[in-house]
Every structure is written in structure tokens, then in C-alpha cells.
Structure 1
Amino acid sequence: MLSSNQLTQIVHKYLGLYNSTDCIQQFCKWTVRESTVGGRGIIATEDIPCGEVLFVDRPLIFGPRCGNVIRGCTVCSKFEDDGFFKCSLCALLLCSTECQDFHTDDCNIIAGWKKKVDIEEIDEIVMSHALAAIRALSLNQEQKQFMSALAAHTLPQHGGEIIKLKQYFEIPEEIEKDMIFACQALDTNAFQIATPYGKKEMSLRGLYPVAGLMNHSCLPNATYSYNDERQMIVKTSRFIAAGTEIFTCYSGILWGTTTRRSYLFKTKHFWCKCERCADPTENGTMLAALCCLANECTTGYLLPIEPLKSSSSWQCTACGLRVPSKIIYKIQVALGTLISTLDFQNLEQMENFLMKRVTKFVPKVNHIVVDLQCRLIWEFGDVQGYRWHELTESRLSLKLVLCRDILATLAALGLEDSHLCGLLFYHLHATLAERARRHPDLYDGLKSEIESTIERAYRILRGDISAPVDLELRYRYLGPDCEKPQQERFSILSI
């Protein structure tokens, strides 16, 4: 096992911070050390202000996520195409001759294995799921050494992609072991790679080895984004004092505690005990809260008494009613079943469910409701039938309220500079700008917030591949530095 100093040197060299030929070490405000939460982590060596870039990582390997069940091109990730075909040598799915020319490295590896069945019988979904691990075979010695230094889950479920792959190929034992380890490292450390805003592409995961050294907290102090070269840009999302560990979040940031902890145990094999998980109210956000079961109680929230114990009873904040964990579990399962009946492509159904049904069972602060609210925010103004000019005044007002509510929740969690906040500031800005476009007489009263929200969004999302395509344009015309007259500023909204 490498020492922390040895690993730090590998990390710095990988990031281009260390030149072994000239023995030049560039300045860095963090190092790799033993972590108080277990294993190793990234620790600040001096005070780091909010919004500062910590490092720019790149994936050792990447490929389609194993949760994908859709057919897609294994080169460009496009999945809506009538011209898909299998490569006759390796069985990978492709969409064009250009992509075929680009996949030679993958093809050369796979084509070297003896096939057990005809190409037509090989399942392209199995090939897609195994592709990231297959690409690990192309790593050089230094890259393999870095990957081997990462934590890797060894339970039997990790590496199943390669077991399925062996149905179709005779794979040498050493190569099989290397690919299974790659799967284990991916399942432990991989990040979902963002897709360009508005584009429909297969979801990818990447093994970003430096980011993979960051441990988890449900109140992270770092955030990350991606550029168009699949590089991950990791920044501080709040001030970090020297000696403090730098954390990311492995789960949904707006999930309630029960959901987050269950997900982390299922996928990462640990029970989170962070400050947020230990707080029944989750910094006052009440994201896990349920409605009180007492008929006469209309204002109370059910919250876990001891949130770090799955067997804990829940208690009402108003009337004090205690509810056993078994009943809480049944309620949560029923809610999951109810949500599974929703068609998330049907905005009218989703809006009706949010406004008239779901809050009969859970308070509007619950993470299930917040998730539905986010879905409506992303779609209102952006999809056919709900474009900005098509939105009713009531839907415009609803989007405004939802943006403000979720931003307040993120602020309570100390996540005002997160990627999610950036997107919400953009949508809040766009909603305010649409209101001012419709009602020019309201512009003077809205001007300050229109400018400040696009400025916040631009600062957080600039250079991010998943940023809205008109972010730059809106910032130039509707931001605080634009001196154009009102009519000209708003001319961009009719483009």
C-alpha cells in the first residue's frame, strides 16, 4: 500500500503539478492524508476561500453507466438514432462510419478475444456496461498504479459486468481479474458525467482518480462541474479552513436522511454519520419529514428521534405522537409506489399530482415534493407546449415560488454556491425576466434581482457543459454590467 506522501506525489504528477524531470513542484493548497472518517482523504493545508478551483481532474477510464438499459452509440453516446449497427469485429454499438473510425482502440482489445457465439448473438447492452472496464486494459503502468491505489469494493456484486461478458468471449484469467478490479474501482469511486444542456445522450460514468479520493459528507464543502473535454473542475463551495477535510457528496443533495443513508449503504457500503444525518431536522430543512398521523394535528411534522438508528421511532414536532419505525417504513414504501405510477414526461399530470395529491401525504418540504418541484422548474419554459411564451401567469408564478423555496433550502444547508444553486439562479432569473418582458411597467422593480440572479448563475455555471446555452447571452444583455436601454436588453428573449 502506498504511503500518503507517495500517493500525494502520484496525484500531483497526474494533475500536472509535479514535473519529475525538473523536480518542480507547483503550489497546491491541499494534500492527501489519513482521514478522520476512515481511509484517506484530501485535506486543506491552508485556508481556501469559497469558489476557488481546487483541481481539474480527468478520467482514467469512462463509459456508459451500468444502469443504462437503452441502446446508444458507444463512441458519441447518441441514443436517438435509426442507423445503429454493431461492429462486425467487436459487437460494440455504433451510429456512423465516423464513430466506427474512432473506436479502434476498444475494438482491437475485444477483437483479440475468441468469441463463443456469433456477433449477432452478443448483447450490446452487456458490451456497453462492460466498456469502461475494458478500457482499463489500455492504461499505462503509471495509470494502473494510480487506479490500484484507489479504494475498491470487493463484494460479489461488483464486477458482474465481466461475468456477463464471459458468456460471449473467452477472456484470459489475468485480463478478467484486471477488468473486475476496474469494475470494483468504478463502483466505489466513479462519478456520473454531465451531458450538454438539452442534449439527449447516454449517461456516462468516469473514474476521476483525484476526485475519487474525496470522502463523503451530506454537507459537502466542494462542488464540481464538467467542461466539454470531460474534465472535472472541482471548486470549494464554502470557505475551508486549513486542516479541514475536503468533502464531496455521493448521494442526492436534496434527498432526505433515510433515503441518503440507505442509498449510501446499498451502493458504497457504509452508514453515513455526518452532522446532517445526525440532525432530525437536517439544518431546519425537514427534508425527510412526514405528515403527523393524528387526525386532529394539522401542523406537526413526523421526524426520527434518533436518525442514525434505522429502528428509531418518529415523533411529531407539534403533538408529540410517537410512531414505530415499522409503520414509518410502510408509509415510505407506499409513497415510493405512488411516485412510481407517475409519468415524468407528462407535465400536466406531474403538476396536478404536486399541487393536489402528494401534499395530502407528505409536507411540501419533504424531499419527494422537492424532487417534483425541481422537475417542473427544469421543464417550465423549456419544453414544447410549455415554452416561455406559452406559460400561463399561474405557471410563471408557480415556477417563481418553487425556485425561491428550493434556493432557501439549499441556503439552509450551506450550499449557496453549488452547481444546483447555479441552475436554480438561472431559472429564477429567466422567470423574472419573462415577467418583466410581459409587463414592462414591472421592470424597474425587478431589475435588481434580474441582474443579481444571472450574475450568480453565471459565476457558478460559467464553462460548465451542462449550463444553459443562453447563459452567456443573458449575462451580457441582462446582467449588471449591461448599459443598453430596456427594450434592447429584452430583445434577446424573442430570439
Structure 2
Amino acid sequence: MGRHLRDNGGPPHRDPPWEIVRSPLGGRGVVATRDLQPDDLVLVDPPLMLGPRAGTDPATPVVCVGCLRPCAPAELRACPRGCRLPVCASSRPRSPPCEDGACHAGECGLLRRWGVRGDAGQWSDALLRAAAAVRCLALPPEQRQILASMQSHHGRQHAFEVGLLLESLEASPSPEEERFMRLACCVMDANAFRMTLPAAEDGDGDGGAAGRQRADAETWGPLVGALRGLYPLGALLNHECTPNTRHSYDSRGRMVIRAARAVARGEELTVTYSALLWGSPARRQHLLRTKHFLCACARCKDPTEGGTLLAALPCPARPCAGPVLPASPLSLTGPWRCSGCGLHVPADRATLLQSVLGGLLRTLHRDPALPPAPDAVLRFLEDNRRLLPATNHITVELKADVVWALGRKPGLEFAGLTAEQLQLKESLIRELLAVLQALRAGRCSLSGMLLYELHCTLLERCRRDPGLWPSVAAEALESIEVAHGILGEDNAAPHDLAVLVRRARQRRAASSDHPGEASPRPPPASSPASRPRRDSAADVTGGPPSAAPAPPEAIACL
């Protein structure tokens, strides 16, 4: 492990603030060896392996196996060496062709040795889904030993991608090779993190970068990670539904884990394997299905989830409007109870209500690859307000979708929003921040995203009415400072984050130097359709970007 960290850019971890112990949560865990404050660095973990995901989610972007960047399908071609994996069709300036990338050489050689079926001029989706397993087989012996020592899930649904691989080959791998690839798939199912490297920024006017920007604009919103990565240290952290750490990925693909809130010495360090804004029943069922355990953390034991009522269902007894919540939160078969009229609802009736809500949601998401427009979401919430409590996690996540869309999606850029839309975005941001505060989520990545959006929204309001600036300046400046502290080293952070925080500090300094003068007017926001590169000359005039950071994603269900 130590050699892997040294050889792949990991820090020396001298006197680390953590140690590996036997965990009461099961198996190994990581505890703090000293008190930690929010944002304190816990560890930096280089990936053992980064590769494409195996799923078929239509929202998952396709990646080049050489540079691992998300691409539009038209920007890819089959590897000219004959392995039929997709690589970038055109090279970026000052970069070698992606088929020559070091990370691709191992699997390319193995696939060509086995022989692949089909048209060599067309890249294969089946081989792409199996590429990570082949990439694991191509690891050096020491790294394969690390992989083999990691926890694994063994079930009928695991290692299906090896079956896809075998169907695509002329000759079969050896039994030992097949056995290791199946083990690697089971290890990835238990431990892999979902992540995405940012699209390349090569500055060409008409080529790959422009295409990626168009693709980003068309599918703007919470990104679905295109990659799965194995992080040996990060995988040792156990799950908690509201974890005490946050994780991000730097420009080298390394996982950076920091404290999200104060952590006492001896306290176990945790990450989340599920979605932060889901209600407890949905999270627990998801964890049981994908990670094969039922969570019993403090949040799962509290039917109100800190007063957020994310699991609330509508009371069947009319006209009662009280929320129905689990009476025995840790029981899958226990009754639910209305906190308004006291009605007990059997578990099967509660399950039926949840199914009805899920069916309603599917009517809104007719095309899984395209999120619904904000107007459609708002109409849906209004039409179904009797079935969807205002606090239910479906409602909350749909409100988040509206936040990500307003000011960002084509046709909904900041400058074109109505005053009502701008006010709606701000109010929804504040509502979501209040939910995170009630959950004690601390300085999580989602709060950083929302604070960034709040800052951009306040700037747009002041652009329209400069007289507002004195009344919102303090909050606008603080929100971007906190957002930068949370997102600053994340490779998915917005491109103009550093520029916005630098301007905020300049305005704060100017106000301090001249306390008797009016606060400087905020700069006009440029069109969100432009997407300035990080720290480029374009940043001097950039306003809110067209692409905001991707919301934090749970450990992948792969």
C-alpha cells in the first residue's frame, strides 16, 4: 500500500490524523487520531484503477478510454490498434493520441491478444462496459494484490460484465485471468467510487472542446459519474447517512477527503454510500439492494430525520394533512403513524403509497437522459401537492433540479430569467440549505454548490438593481468564500469559482480601506453561455458560468 501511494502521487501521510481499526459498524474502519475541524485534511488517496462504469444509465456520458474524459459519441472512434474500445477521434494540441495513453496500453494489449469480434472500425459498447475489469487484470502484481485484499460482494448479479466480455472475444482468457476479472468486478461493486474527470480544455474553436461544451449545455445539471475508481484508503471508510467527511477529486484523479464538521478524537470517519437528500426508507432499501446491509445510524433511527420529514407520506384519512412517518424506523415491516391524527398505516400500505409516488415521478421523467424543464417540475408539484408532502424527498430533489436549471440551461440563462424566476431560485436555495442544516451535514459538497448558486443569484439581482448591493453584500461575499473553501480543489468545481472569490476579496478590501464610501458596484454578469477556462484571460469578464459543479455523488452502485 505504501509503495502504491508513493508511486502514484499520494502524500507521505506522516503522522496521519487517522488510523485503521476494527469498526463496530462491521469489518475495518478509520477513526480520527486527533480532533478535526471542518475542512481539515484527512487523507489524499491516488486511485488504484480508474475506468469506465459498467451500467447502462442513459444519463451516463461515454468516455474515451485513453484520456477518460466524457465525450459525445460522435467525438469518438474505435481504437486504431484493433481493441474496439472508444478513443477520442481527434488529438488535442500538444497531446499524444489517446490510443497511445499509458492507462490504455494494458487492456488494449490483452484484448488484441484474445481477439475481438465485430467490425474493427466501430467501437463496442459491450467492451467499454467490461473495460474496467480488463484494466484491473492489467495492473502490476503489487497493485493486483492490493485489489485482491479489498472487500468484495459475491452474488448472481455481480461480474456480469465479464460475461459481456467473453461474448465479444474470439478466444477466451485463461481460467486464472477470468477468475481475477470476476473478483475485480466483485471488489468494484463493494468499493468503487463514482466520479468524472472534467472535459478537456484545449481551446480549439471547433473541435472536441467545443463539442463537449455543447454536450454539457444540453445536459446541464447534476452529472452522473462516467468513471468508477478504486481508492484503497477511501474504501476503508464506512457508511453514515449524514457523514462527517466530504470527498472530492483533484485534477489528477486523486480522492481528497476532508472533515465536513468537527470530529472528535476516536470518532469513526465516515462517507455516504447513498444520496444525502433521500428519506431513510429509500436510503435503507437502496443500501440493502446495492451494498447488502441495512443502515442503523443515528439519522436512520430518527423518524423525523432532524425535523426534515424527508420520508413523509400523505395521511390517507381526509382531511388530515399530517405527515405519515415510520413508527419503528429500523423495521422494514413495522407500521407507519400519522403525527397529525395518530392513524396507524400498515407497512404494506406505506409501500403502496411509495410506489404510487414513484409512478408519478416516472410520468415526469419520460426521457431519463433529459431532465424535465423547471416549468414542468413546478406544474407537477402543484398538480400532486396532495400526494406529495412538501417535505418528501421527491419534492426536495425536484426543487433542487429547478435550482440547477434556472440560470444554467439553454434558454434559462441568468440574464433572461424573470424577476419571479430569480426569486424562486433564491428561495429554493435557502430552503435546501435549511434542510442540510437540519441534517447537520456541515460543509458538505452540496452546501458548497448551493452557496455558489446563491452568490451568482445575488450578483444577478444586484446587476439589475445596483441599489441592492449594500443590503446583500455581506451574504454574497461570505457565500462565495465558503463555497470556495468547500469546492476549491474539486475538479468538478465551476470554472470561474477562483475568479469570483478573488473579486469578492477585492470588494471586501476596498470596503475596508474606504469605510465611508459606498460599496463598489458588482460587475455585470456575462452571458452564462460562455464558459471561460480556469484562470484564463476570459475569466476577467466572466460572470456566472454555464456549468456548475456536479453534486456530490455517493459511492457508485456499479
Q: TM-score, normalised by structure 2?
A: 0.81
Measured in 2, the distance between the counterparts of 1:214 and 1:122 equals 40
By how many angstroms is 1:133 displaced? 1.3
1:64 paired with 2:86, answer no
Of 361, 364, 379, 1:353 maps to 379
Measured in 2, the distance between the counterparts of 1:277 and 1:12 equals 39
1:322 paired with 2:344, answer yes
CA contact (8 A) 1:134 1:179 kept: yes
Q: Output the amino acid matched with 1:73.
A: C
1:222 paired with 2:245, answer yes
Matched residue pairs, number?
481
By how many angstroms is 1:345 displaced? 3.4
By how many angstroms is 1:313 displaced? 1.1
Instruction: Tell me the residue number matched to 2:389.
Output: 363
Per mean C-alpha deviation after superposition, the further-off stretch among 232-241 and 132-141 is 132-141
The SS at the match of 1:490 is coil
Cα 1:460–1:78 shift into 2, 3 Å: closer
The SS at the match of 2:42 is strand
Measured in 1, the distance between the counterparts of 2:35 and 2:263 equals 6
By how many angstroms is 1:492 displaced? 5.1
By how many angstroms is 1:349 displaced? 4.2
The SS at the match of 2:400 is helix
* Alignment deviations for residues 299-344 of structure 1 (CA, whole Å, 9 cap, x no partner): x110000011111111111111111111111111111111112245
Q: Aligned runs of 1:402-441 on 2, under 5 Å?
A: 402-441=428-467
CA contact (8 A) 1:258 1:288 kept: yes
CA contact (8 A) 1:122 1:168 kept: no
Of 267, 270, 273, 1:247 maps to 270
Structure 2: 5+ residue runs without aligned partners? 91-96, 200-212, 217-222, 512-517, 528-540, 542-558
Instruction: Tell me the residue number matched to 2:333.
Output: 311
Instruction: Tell me the residue number matched to 2:510.
Output: 483
Instruction: Tell me the residue number matched to 2:86.
Output: 93
Of 61, 66, 83, 1:75 maps to 66
1:46 paired with 2:39, answer no
Q: Aligned runs of 1:74-153 on 2, under 5 Å?
A: 74-76=65-67, 77-87=69-79, 89-96=82-89, 98-102=97-101, 103-115=104-116, 117-119=117-119, 124-153=124-153
By how many angstroms is 1:416 displaced? 2.5
By how many angstroms is 1:459 displaced? 0.9
Measured in 2, the distance between the counterparts of 1:183 and 1:283 equals 37
Of 11, 15, 18, 1:30 maps to 18
CA contact (8 A) 1:8 1:32 kept: no
By how many angstroms is 1:358 displaced? 3.4
Q: Output the amino acid matched with 1:154.
A: H
By how many angstroms is 1:402 displaced? 0.7
Q: Output the amino acid matched with 2:272.
A: C
Measured in 1, the distance between the counterparts of 2:88 and 2:10 equals 35
* Alignment deviations for residues 76-97 of structure 1 (CA, whole Å, 9 cap, x no partner): 4433242533235211122325
Measured in 1, the distance between the counterparts of 2:427 and 2:457 equals 10
Per mean C-alpha deviation after superposition, the further-off stretch among 331-340 and 256-265 is 331-340
CA contact (8 A) 1:477 1:490 kept: no
CA contact (8 A) 1:303 1:316 kept: yes
The SS at the match of 1:386 is coil
The SS at the match of 2:179 is helix
Instruction: Tell me the residue number matched to 1:341.
Output: 363
Instruction: Tell me the residue number matched to 2:427.
Output: 401
Measured in 2, the distance between the counterparts of 1:491 and 1:157 equals 53
By how many angstroms is 1:15 displaced? 7.3
Per mean C-alpha deviation after superposition, the further-off stretch among 91-100 and 453-462 is 91-100
Measured in 1, the distance between the counterparts of 2:350 and 2:147 equals 41
The SS at the match of 1:82 is helix
1:297 paired with 2:299, answer no
Instruction: Tell me the residue number matched to 2:194.
Output: 192
Cα 1:54–1:314 shift into 2, 3 Å: same
Instruction: Tell me the residue number matched to 1:3.
Output: none
The SS at the match of 1:245 is coil
Instruction: Tell me the residue number matched to 2:353.
Output: 331
Task: Name the structure, 1 or 2, with higher relative contact order (CA <8 Å, separation 6+).
Answer: 2
* Alignment deviations for residues 404-428 of structure 1 (CA, whole Å, 9 cap, x no partner): 1111111111113000100001111
By how many angstroms is 1:354 displaced? 4.7
Instruction: Tell me the residue number matched to 1:468.
Output: 494
CA contact (8 A) 1:358 1:369 kept: no
Cα 1:326–1:122 shift into 2, 3 Å: farther
Measured in 2, the distance between the counterparts of 1:32 and 1:11 equals 16
Measured in 2, the distance between the counterparts of 1:9 and 1:302 equals 53
Per mean C-alpha deviation after superposition, the further-off stretch among 453-462 and 140-149 is 140-149
Instruction: Tell me the residue number matched to 2:184.
Output: 182
Measured in 1, the distance between the counterparts of 2:428 and 2:525 equals 25
Cα 1:132–1:8 shift into 2, 3 Å: same
CA contact (8 A) 2:374 2:401 kept: no
* Alignment deviations for residues 251-278 of structure 1 (CA, whole Å, 9 cap, x no partner): 0011111110011011100011111111
By how many angstroms is 1:429 displaced? 1.2
Cα 1:38–1:396 shift into 2, 3 Å: same
